[in-house]
Structure 1
């Protein structure tokens, strides 16, 4: 059976050595999360994930959720685990203290999220969706709605969802059919059907607060006519007490490839009472507050599953005796050597390790920017951080989930035939990871968002938040003794990225298909360089500390960094060639020939 231990040593490294946590801790609203407090939070989160969530991961996958006439029951042990999770304050760890939360910075919550995703992604969907709904309400709802609904959501007594997709439309939300008719008391009657609604119905909480996209009678066409509504499963009185059941019901649950213990629901709204969140026809900006949170969290899902798969595969490779080393027996007293003597096994494990640890570092970089955008006292710093987050969000979502799926597959491959057998636990990671490349905007959509919106925004100003610090770092360190072997490969890949960016901007202005055809390769190239930047910085730290390294942590960092530079980052050359090839071979085939 695969096992998992939270990678706390590496988490502490990215939090306090790769970056300086004190500049987050000193921002208004983050003062209580001192390094000692953070350390205690991470230790306790690891305990909860390892001892409560992980033991019900496989059984939850085996059992799945049950639907009976609109009632959904989660697998055995999930209700008890959720109660313990909520009572421990984990549902509100990153929420506003005004509503009962603990106010943890995103840079801390991201690490907790990773541990949850590694140990039980299905379980993590329930509090994860609730936090996304909380974030949208916190940013856009009236004070009256926030006072009425947020405290119970923060404490975990009530849950939340996001209801976007409809049977006839997914990404193209401008053509949704769900309607909202005004009522005399200022509320609205919501009618329509939503599909693929994660955690839309379950037995974990007393109430579920749905955030629903719908159109008012006078709505303009397209996305400019979308409004956002809060629709509770049970009506809530002015005193916070629950009343009668609202006219919203789960029509069915999906039978899925993975995350089987997470209920994925068809939700029917039959004149359900709802309340407008924000202004009429401004639902998309409000929902994007939620979706940006969710897209970063989905990226962390890929990282979490990739880490779990790596740990399982590395442990198996150490213990499994199979064949002899090509250079001669390493354990002649045993019937065979361990799998770790074989170069291809090492290639797979190091690929997973290098990309996992690189993503953890890059995720921290973005999470810190989110904290800065929210808490910094300087409005200029806040704006710069927000521009960086806008640029990097699609890259994090797509890159982390692509690599997460790749790494879960590598984990199965290391196990060989046993990886394909359910009882070992590895194949579940593959099935669970696959959805992350699809929901919250497919990775192809993320790539289009990057080249079509984020790259040209503000006349390219978002790009400066990445290009300028990377360029400055390369110029300052490319010739340094010992560090050059890490920075020089980064410089080559960065040059390719710069050239591809300029070329894509020019071509895309003349023919949008040029940008669309290169979008996926461009996003991957961008991500490779971003993670390469992180690895160069991590190597710099490891070089300075390698002489005081009793547990071999920094030695391992240096070897893994070199592997990334020599074996992963060179993919930038092939990606660059594909980008420069243009759109002709993609677009010239007639539709009827497919």
Structure 2
């Protein structure tokens, strides 16, 4: 039996107190029972549709027959079941067909799908795409595109990267030029013709929905016909695969967007990953080459809009990494309980006539299982805590909302990066628990590792998250975000100090927080960004471990020890403080000293 649902229920109700949200007007129609009904439905669909399709989607990679991308029928069935569940519009207003669910409940419900088959459907992108248009699009753009995405008629993508630019968005070359004399008066927004190539586009081509709504970053040429250099020249456009009328119905015209190829991935194979050509002339539309796109927001403000989608996506990526780690943890726990090997090292342990013992009775196997538990349950707590901040930001009193927004800004790089690194490590440990069997395809733990390896890369690589954290987040508003986080951590420390079982952990966390603050100041002591940021990744790792230690201490305070689940949470907390938190000293040492080993390494020395 899966331990995920009881853990989710504990975190939502006993730790985060989500029932209190039902006192707010937006969520007044909800109760603990309605939240449970949503979780029940999602858990059932995940088990019945996603889990059976997961392995097939892994072994039957997407293929292009020259006209369309072919996916297994089980993937189509899983996608239809998700759409029919209403989860694409779960957090939206009732008049949009939504449920007005809190973000924290929505993310908890989606965790079941990620655990059962994360490489199916790509619905996270569709929700994020539609949410961006709801925030930054015109009324017509919201009605024609976003509303259709919430129903599942259209799916969405985000098209950022290009083959020559990668993560350096300021170097993109896709052009967008006004489409004729009447382009500015188009009812769907200023109309442009786009030409360029986009790489690494998840769900860029498929038959899972009637249409695909691409959100594309491109540059509008200046009066001299040249592209404006840097990020300030980037604009955002809606580029549908098939053109749509003002009534939301397809016009029958294919837009000039063509599949150039599929990327064959290590994992996450159920979602086609594509190279798209915009405006190459393969599908001339309305008598001319160039993909028709509609400007979202103002020219030159494309990144502002796209980051609305990316920040939301980064929390979801972290939660996806957690769920892959959780799937591996449960698999290795089940295996360890049933796999007999070796004998006790105690008295009589060398007697070969005695029966073998389950490997879970070996201390080192328990070490690996405890590490996994501390990573995945701690990561789940972090993701749900961030989702709860989203709800506070949107529905709390003004001061609380402002505070939640600032704290969320601080935690987003951690919510994305920490699970991506350490829940991947959990998957590695799950393979290790299985021994040689774990390295074969007879068991699913190898797939979980392959699927999870993507999460340190997409939606902003590990290095980019580190630069964002140390280069921007901790210094923004004069360090206000860092001070707020420290205040929250110290509040937990103060509550834990009188608890005899947690006093030592509270003391250790206080010392770790002090070391983190000192390292932050030392990194920026010279005011030279190149020196401060040379060791941004070790800083990110230390920062993440301090945050997770805080999560575990706070969770332990909410958890009694009068049940096996409570004892398990306290043991995982103790493991994290004893085995994991001490790692920060080595990471912070190079930050404090502004170690220049990596900075001064020369190309030819390699």
**What's the TM-score bracket when you normalise by the shorter of the two chains?**
over 0.9
> What is the CA RMSD across the aligned residues, in angstroms?
1.7
Q: Closer, same or farther in 2 for the Cα pair 1:325/1:574, shift >3 Å?
A: farther
What SS does the aligned partner of 2:205 have? Answer: coil
1:530 aligns with 2:547: yes
1:585 aligns with 2:593: no
1:134 aligns with 2:142: no
Q: Is the 8 A contact 2:130 2:145 kept in 1?
A: no
Alpha-carbon distance in 1 for matches of 2:13, 2:317: 24
Q: Is the 8 A contact 1:299 1:401 kept in 2?
A: yes
Q: Is the 8 A contact 2:49 2:77 kept in 1?
A: no
Alpha-carbon distance in 2 for matches of 1:211, 1:505: 37
Alpha-carbon distance in 1 for matches of 2:347, 2:182: 82
1:15-414 equivalence runs, <5 A: 15-124=12-121, 126-183=122-179, 184-186=181-183, 187-218=191-222, 220-243=228-251, 244-270=253-279, 271-328=290-347, 335-376=355-396, 378-414=397-433
Alpha-carbon distance in 1 for matches of 2:176, 2:517: 47
Spell out, residue by residue over 1:70-117, the C-alpha distance to the aligned partner (whole angstroms, 9 max, x if none). Answer: 511212311122112211212221334342222222111221232211
Spell out, residue by residue over 1:121-168, the C-alpha distance to the aligned partner (whole angstroms, 9 max, x if none). Answer: 1115x2111011111111100011101112210011110000000010
Q: Is the 8 A contact 1:209 1:230 kept in 2?
A: yes
What SS does the aligned partner of 1:353 have? Answer: helix
Structure 1 match to 2:188: none
- Shift of residue 506 of structure 1? 2.0
- Shift of residue 561 of structure 1? 1.4
Spell out, residue by residue over 1:40-82, the C-alpha distance to the aligned partner (whole angstroms, 9 max, x if none). Answer: 1111111111121011111110011111225112123111221
1:514-525 equivalence runs, <5 A: 514-525=531-542
Alpha-carbon distance in 1 for matches of 2:167, 2:136: 22
Alpha-carbon distance in 2 for matches of 1:201, 1:320: 43
Spell out, residue by residue over 1:464-512, the C-alpha distance to the aligned partner (whole angstroms, 9 max, x if none). Answer: 22111112332343244333133122222222112212222324x1x22
What SS does the aligned partner of 1:195 have? Answer: strand
Q: Closer, same or farther in 2 for the Cα pair 1:411/1:476, shift >3 Å?
A: closer
Q: Is the 8 A contact 1:321 1:339 kept in 2?
A: yes
Alpha-carbon distance in 1 for matches of 2:192, 2:331: 51
Alpha-carbon distance in 2 for matches of 1:216, 1:83: 38
Alpha-carbon distance in 2 for matches of 1:388, 1:224: 27
TM-score (norm 2): 0.93
Q: Is the 8 A contact 1:490 1:529 kept in 2?
A: yes
Structure 1 match to 2:186: none
Q: Which has the higher contact order (CA 8 A, sep 6+)?
A: 1
- Shift of residue 333 of structure 1? 8.4
Give the alignment partner of residue 456 of structure 2, picking from 408, 428, 437.
Answer: 437
Q: Closer, same or farther in 2 for the Cα pair 1:516/1:282, shift >3 Å?
A: same
Farther off after superposition, 106-115 or 253-262: 106-115
What SS does the aligned partner of 1:259 have? Answer: coil
- Shift of residue 514 of structure 1? 2.5
Alpha-carbon distance in 1 for matches of 2:581, 2:330: 23
Structure 2 match to 1:8: 5
- Shift of residue 332 of structure 1? 9.0
Structure 1 match to 2:443: 424
Alpha-carbon distance in 1 for matches of 2:77, 2:600: 57
- Structure 2: gaps of 5 or more residues: 184-190, 280-289
What SS does the aligned partner of 1:32 have? Answer: coil
